[in-house]
Amino acid sequence: MKYDYLIVGAGLFGAVFAREAREKGRNCLVVERRNHIAGNVYCEEIHGIQVHRYGAHIFHTSDKKIWDYVCRLAEFNNYVNSPIARYKGEVYNLPFNMNTFSRMWGISTPREARDIIAAQIADLRIAEPKNLEEQALSLVGRDVYEKLIRGYTEKQWGRDCRDLPAFIIRRLPLRFTYDNNYFNDRYQGIPIGGYTRLVEKLLEGTEVRLNVDYLEHREELDALADRIIYTGMIDQFYDYSLGVLQYRSVRFETEELEMENFQGNAVVNYTEREVPYTRIIEHKHFEFGKQPTTIISREYSSEWHRGDEPYYPVNDERNNALYEQYRAKAEADEKVIFGGRLGGYKYYDMDKVIAAALELCGALL
Ligand code: UDP
């Protein structure tokens, strides 16, 4: 065998594995279907602006080990994510905090906010939330749910909130301080110069072949290495033999505008159902850019069909059960190990992807 490991996919998981393997003296080959590295964290520089081509990525973690790891690869800026939500002309701060409540109800103290929310929750009489709608209602009450959650969630997941699992909403905390920081994590920022450069650093010294679709050249590629690290879709790897897992896909409508500042914030969510996109990203604000023009991306969420780019696993009961079957199959398969958002069928954040890759390296290398 020419290589110890064949790594399929040049995203974060594959690249972290490649770096650790190289440092341990293993020989790896990375193959990537696209014409560039970095997976969905890929950034493309356009007129001095780092454009997040596959959706906005904000690095955040509370794991000091992971933070130190990425800081050795790139310098991070001090961007703090504070998205804005627009609902029928009204503008609210996210996550739900005192700024949000004050705008919604004209109040100013945590006591007033808690009283209003508690009264709305009591009216609903939900004992044990059975789905996302009930979970959301019992956490935030009717007003916040109707204006800031329902439309956005139904657009993003293409499903009625009553048919969605409750866990999705745990990402949106409720806060009784005037703090617009979306994340609760200790460390946060964007790598200066973009994520592509960070992944380039990880892949330094590793052979990477772009424009190579593993599934089209399976036999020849398998013959090159003892083991495969596979970061694509696990169901596709097994030719959907046990069934098709569901994903959500995203379409980006990106344009450059002849103005310096379009929306005054990197992320603006459109929470009403009538607006067809979920959010608009203005990329320069991730880096405090002062360029004369600006680049924005409208994000449209859609159901994934074969051939589309998968973005989000739909981790409901049916899919998770099917994934477990694939995982059992994978465990019996000595040749291949799965990782990353698609290989693990998990709604992973970047820090969790890196941690999982490092964990695998610890066990394997
Ligand atoms: N969400 C919402 N309103 C918002 C933003 C998010 O209801 O304005 C909910 C929605 O259910 C979504 C989840 O929170 O699926 C997670 O959204 P987030 O933007 O954090 O996820 P990302 O797409 O950035 O991974």
Instruction: Please write down the HEC assignment for all residues of 21-84.
Output: HHHCCCCEEEECCCCCCCHHHCEEEECCEEEECCCCCCEEECCHHHHHHHHCCCCECCCCCCCE
Q: What is the pTM of this model?
A: 0.96
| pLDDT for the residue 346 | 95
Is residue 248 within 8 Å of 332, Cβ to Cβ?
A: no
pLDDT band at residue 316 using 50, 70 and 90 as cut-offs: confident
Return the pLDDT at 171.
Answer: 64
Neighbours of 78 (CB within 10 A): 8
Q: Is the dihedral of CA 266, 271, 275, 276 positive or negative?
A: positive
- pLDDT, residue 167, reads 79
- Minimal-distance CA residue to ligand 1 atom 10: 153
The model's confidence at residue 124, banded by pLDDT at 50, 70 and 90, is confident
Residue 152 has pLDDT above 80, yes or no: yes
Cα distances (angstroms) measured from residue 134 to each of 129, 139, 146, 168, 348: 5, 8, 12, 12, 24
Residue 302 has pLDDT above 80, yes or no: yes
Report, as an integer, the average pLDDT of 98-115: 98
- CA–CA gap between residue 7 and residue 21 (Å, rounded): 11
Catalytic residue, candidates 171, 209, 218, 273:
171
pLDDT band (50, 70, 90) for residue 1: confident
Which of 150, 248, 270, 287 is an active site residue? 248
- Whether residue 150 is predicted with pLDDT greater than 90 in this model: the reply is yes
CA distance 252 to 274: 18
What distance in angstroms lies between residue 256's CA and the mean position of ligand 1's atoms?
25
Q: Which of 32, 272, 287, 299 is catalytic?
A: 299
Predicted pLDDT at 155: 96
Ligand 1 mean position, distance from CA 153 (Å): 7
Mean pLDDT for the chain overall: 96
DSSP structure class, residue 334: S
What's the length of the chain? 365
Q: How confident is the model at residue 29 (pLDDT cuts 50, 70, 90)?
A: very high
Residue 130, φ and ψ in degrees, nearest 5: -100, -15
Q: pLDDT category, 165, cuts 50, 70, 90?
A: confident
Average pLDDT over residues 302-325: 94
Mean pLDDT check: name the lowest of 37-46, 216-225, 314-323: 314-323
pLDDT interval class at 172 (50, 70, 90): low
Instruction: Assess whether pLDDT exceeds 90 at residue 190.
Output: yes
How remote is the C-alpha of 15 from its chain's centroid? 17
* Token digits of residue 223: 């013959």
Residue 87 pLDDT greater than 90, yes or no: yes
Question: What integer pLDDT is reported at residue 169 of this predicted model?
Answer: 81
In this structure, which residue's CA is closest to atom 3 in ligand 1?
149
Name, of 121-125, 169-173, 275-279, 306-310, the range with top average pLDDT.
275-279
User: For the CA atoms of the chain, what is the radius of gyration?
Assistant: 22
248 is catalytic: yes
Give the Å distance between the CA of 278 and the centre of ligand 1.
9
Q: Which of 197, 199, 140 is nearest to 172 (CA)?
A: 140
Give whichever of 120-129, 163-172, 332-341 has the largest mean pLDDT: 332-341
Interaxial angle between packed helices 350-364 and 12-23, expressed in degrees from 0 to 180 and rounded to the nearest 10: 30
Q: Residue 262, SS3?
A: coil
Q: Which two tokens stand for residue 294?
A: 């600006």
CA 341/CA 337 separation, integer angstroms: 13
